[in-house]
Amino acid sequence: MPQQLKYTRILLAVDCLIFGFESQTLKVLLIKRKLQPYQNEWSLMGGFLVGEESADEAALRILKELAGLSGVSMEQVKTFSKADRDPTERTVSIVYSSLIDIKKFEEQINHEYEAQWFKLNEIPKLIFDHTQMIAAGRDYLKKKAALQPILFGLLGEKFTIPQIQQLYEEVFESSFDKRNFSRKLLGSELLKKLDEKDKSNSKKGAFYYQLDKQINHYNFNILLNLAYNQQ
Amino acid sequence: MPQQLKYTRILLAVDCLIFGFESQTLKVLLIKRKLQPYQNEWSLMGGFLVGEESADEAALRILKELAGLSGVSMEQVKTFSKADRDPTERTVSIVYSSLIDIKKFEEQINHEYEAQWFKLNEIPKLIFDHTQMIAAGRDYLKKKAALQPILFGLLGEKFTIPQIQQLYEEVFESSFDKRNFSRKLLGSELLKKLDEKDKSNSKKGAFYYQLDKQINHYNFNILLNLAYNQQ
Tell me if A27 sits within 8 A of A119, measured CB to CB: yes
Average pLDDT estimate for A12-29:
95
Each domain of chain A, given as residue ranges in start order, spans 3-147, 152-228
Using a CB-CB distance cutoff of 8 angstroms, which residues of chain A are in contact with residue B12? 10, 12, 81, 92
Query: To the nearest whole percent, how much of chain B has pLDDT over 70?
Result: 90
Q: Using a CB-CB distance cutoff of 8 angstroms, which residues of chain A are in contact with residue B89?
A: 2, 4
Residue A189: DSSP 8-state: T
Query: Phi first, then psi: what are they for A167, rounded to 5°?
Result: -65, -45
The end-to-end CA distance of chain B, in Å, is: 63
- The residue of chain A with its CA nearest to that of B5 is A11
pLDDT confidence of residue A146:
81
| Overall average pLDDT of the B182-188 stretch | 82
pLDDT at B230 exceeding the cut of 60: no
Predicted local distance difference test score (pLDDT) of residue B134: 98
Q: Confidence class of residue A84 from pLDDT cuts 50, 70 and 90?
A: very high
Residue A126 has pLDDT above 80, yes or no: yes
Q: Give the C-alpha separation, B174 to A220, whole Å.
A: 15
Residue A188 has pLDDT above 80, yes or no: no
Q: Tell me the average pLDDT across B136-150.
A: 88
Per-residue confidence (pLDDT) for residue B101, from 0 to 100:
92
Per-residue confidence band for A227, with pLDDT thresholds at 50, 70 and 90: low
The CATH number of A3-147, from 3.10.620.30, 1.20.140.10, 3.40.50.300, 3.90.79.10, is 3.90.79.10
Share of chain A above pLDDT 70, in %: 90
pLDDT reported for residue A4:
64
> Which residues of chain B have a Cβ shorter than 8 Å from any chain A Cβ?
2-4, 7-12, 35, 48-56, 76, 78-79, 81-84, 88-89, 92, 94, 143, 146-147, 219-221, 224-225, 227-229, 231
Which pLDDT band, with edges at 50, 70 and 90, does A14 fall under? very high
Residue B143 has pLDDT above 60, yes or no: yes
pLDDT, one tens digit per residue, over B26-44 is 999 999 998 888 999 999 9
Residues of A in contact with B56 (CB under 8 A): 81
For residue A10, the distance in angstroms to the closest alpha carbon of chain B comes to 5
Q: Given phi > 0 = left and psi -120 to 50 = alpha, else beta, which region is A123?
A: beta
What integer is the mean pLDDT of B188-217? Answer: 83
Cα distance between residue B209 and residue B219, in whole Å = 19
| Neighbouring residues of A98: CB distance < 8 A, sequence distance ≥ 6 | A16, A17, A18, A19, A72, A73, A74, A75
Is residue A98 classed exposed, middle or buried when 0-12, 13-18 and 19+ CB atoms within 10 A define those classes?
buried
Q: Write the CATH number of the domain with boundaries A152-228.
A: 1.10.10.10
ipTM score: 0.89
Q: In angstroms, rounded to a whole number, what is the distance separating the alpha carbons of residues B118 and A39?
A: 51
Residues A21-79 pLDDT 10s: 998 899 999 999 988 889 999 999 999 999 999 999 999 999 999 999 999 999 999 99
Rounded CA-CA distance B115/B109 in Å is: 7
Cβ neighbours of B146 in A, within 8 Å: 147, 220, 224
The answer to whether A117 and A29 are in contact (CB under 8 A) is yes
Mean pLDDT, all residues of chain B? 88
